[in-house]
Amino acid sequence: MNLGHGGWGARVRRRGWGRAGDSGHLVLSRISALRGAHLSDEVVTVFFHTTHRCSLQFAAATAPAEPPMTPMAPSSTPATPARPEVGEAFLRSLPKAELHIHIEGSLEPGQMFEMARRNGVDLPYASVDALRAAYAFSDLQSFLDIYYAGAAVLITERDFFEMAMAYFERAAADGVVRAELFFDPQTHTERGIAIGTVIEGLSRACREAGARLGVSADLILCFLRHLSEEDAFATLEQALPFRAHFIGVGLDSSERGHPPEKFARVFARCRELGLHVVAHAGEEGPPAYIESALDVLKVERIDHGVRAIDSPALMQRLATSGMPLTVCPLSNVKLCVFGTLAEHNLVQLLRAGLKVTINSDDPAYFGGYLLQNYVETFAALPALTRGDAIALARHSLEASFAPAADKARWLAQLQAVSAV
Ligand code: HPA
Ligand code: ZN
């Protein structure tokens, strides 16, 4: 089919997506040129030694493909003993809000292949397994390259609706009572999809989630920070006829080199329009980006924010102001922000009095939905207690943009569950 000026399936195919070797090696080259974001001329070979540890090797662009990797011997470290008081059943039972989920990042490989088939979009992978094998990332940019290209299968209102419904079904099963979904309109409008198609499909799914699954849901429109502020203004303009269908705006995509200040005016306009404002900051970027998200964009939540740990003054400020952080543990490990979950700084952030929440970010790419993030984080960090689990769930409900009456009801439910 004709995908218009931005037919990404076709462009990606012509330029090459990189190859996923059967050994689990991923060779990426020049994919980023598609986005004009960050040209990765080098060939990046990524080895995943265990599910939760990554290490990198950078080779020259002309280097031959690496031979198949020999699997590492299993670690001799004994597994963390199970702690039933913070086990899966308990974590599931807590009413929780998910505040940091990019809905395009919930598109599972199977669904991607199905949409590609029905929309006549070619995927440069032979199978679901081959696609999954490519999900080995060295940093945020290496993920974004594949994530934006994968979104090329989303064409119709039905596609957006079905993608979001699949997420809501999983969220409901995980004990999510409230979900605030990020979506990236520029990823779709750039390839000729009308913004109304995107918003109407997602909005219909939000209504259905409430009616059929009892999951309260709203949309947050994200601007891609590697594009210009002018582009963000144009996107806002296109979205305004659908103003009733989204509650806020966010800022995502490549963080380094794209500080929040770049979007000062468009965020000011969004605040004037009565939209909630949030921004990714301090995922890979420095604490200064968190400070400017607060001071310049005047955000109500910081998405990620884990690099705040590098500034004691900022830690103090975040704690005193009760500023929520939407932390995404499995994402942070997959994108090599931390080497392993056991090295994640979530406990330090919590103990410093920060309003930390747990979220999944891009669950189809990072190995787990919300409950899996809770379960694996609690398994990896033995310092986390039952009280911490309740606090994390409470923070998520308090930090949500849901109506006050709904928040009060969920908080009462949380209290009832916690008292058992
Ligand atoms: N960071 C920035 N942009 C993103 C992410 C992320 O983790 N996921 C999807 N877009
Ligand atoms: Zn994110």
Once rounded to an integer, what is the mean pLDDT over residues 280-307? Answer: 98
pLDDT value at 5 more than 90: no
Does residue 254 have a pLDDT over 70? yes
Separation of alpha carbons 79 and 367, rounded Å: 19
- Give me the pLDDT at residue 79, please: 52
Average pLDDT over residues 360-374: 98
pLDDT of residue 165: 98
On whether the CB atoms of residues 219 and 183 are closer than 8 A, the answer is: yes
- Of all protein residues, the one whose alpha carbon is nearest to atom 3 of ligand 1 is 253
pLDDT score of 201 more than 90 = yes
Atom of ligand 1 lying closest to residue 104 CA: 9
Per-residue b/e over 14-37, b at no fewer than 16 CB within 10 Å? eeebbbbbeeebbbbbbbbebbeb
Give the ligand whose atoms come closest to the C-alpha of residue 222: 1
pLDDT at position 2: 30
Ligand 2 is an ion; residues with CB less than 5 A from it: 361
pLDDT at res. 299: 99
Q: Which residues are catalytic?
A: 283
What are the residue boundaries of the structural domains of the chain, listed by start?
Answer: 84-132+155-419
Indicate which residue's Cα is closest to atom 10 of ligand 1.
Answer: 253
Per-residue CA distances from 353 to 94, 292, 375 (Å): 21, 21, 22
State both tokens at 342: 């056991």
Span from the CA of 106 to the centroid of ligand 2 (angstroms): 12
Which ligand minimizes its atom distance to the CA of 284?
Answer: 1
Question: Does residue 35 carry a pLDDT above 70?
Answer: no
The pLDDT value given to residue 32: 31
Closest ligand relative to 98 C-alpha = 2
> What pLDDT is recorded for position 420?
82
In this prediction, residue 66 has a pLDDT band, given cuts at 50, 70 and 90, of very low
Nearest CA to ligand 1 atom 4: 253
Per DSSP bridges, beta strands 26-28 and 43-50 are: antiparallel
Distance CA 264, CA 249 (A): 13
Tokens for 201? Answer: 């499909």
Burial (CB count within 10 angstroms: exposed 0-12, middle 13-18, buried 19+), residue 89: exposed
For the entire predicted model, the pTM comes to 0.84
**pLDDT digits 0-9 by tens, 136-187:** 999 999 999 999 989 999 999 999 999 999 999 999 999 999 999 999 999 9
Sign of the C-alpha dihedral, residues 315, 331, 45, 116? negative
Q: Which of 101, 103, 107, 252 to mutate to test the pocket of ligand 1 (most atoms within 8 A of CB)?
A: 252
Q: Which of 135, 140, 141, 147 to mutate to test the pocket of ligand 1 (most atoms within 8 A of CB)?
A: 140
Alpha carbon 160 to chain centroid, angstroms:
17
Q: To test ligand 1's pocket by mutation, which of 143, 223, 225, 333 has the most ligand atoms within 8 angstroms of CB?
A: 143
pLDDT of residue 58: 28
Q: How confident is the model at residue 93 (pLDDT cuts 50, 70, 90)?
A: very high
Of 220 and 76, the structure prediction assigns the larger pLDDT to 220
**Residues 37, 254: Cα–Cα separation, whole Å:** 7
Of the chain, the percentage scoring pLDDT greater than 90 comes to 79
* CATH top class, domain 84-132+155-419: alpha beta
Answer whether residue 29 shows pLDDT above 60.
Answer: no
| Ligand 2: centre distance to CA 283 (Å) | 9
| pLDDT for residue 82 | 77
pLDDT at 34: 31
Give the position, in ligand 1's atom list, of the atom nearest the Cα of 362: 8
**Ligand 1 nearest-atom number relative to CA 147:** 9
Cα 411–chain centre separation: 25
Give residue ranges with CB within 6 A of ligand 1. Answer: 102, 105, 140, 147, 252-253, 280, 283, 331, 361-362
Q: How far apart are CA 116 and CA 366, in angstroms?
A: 21
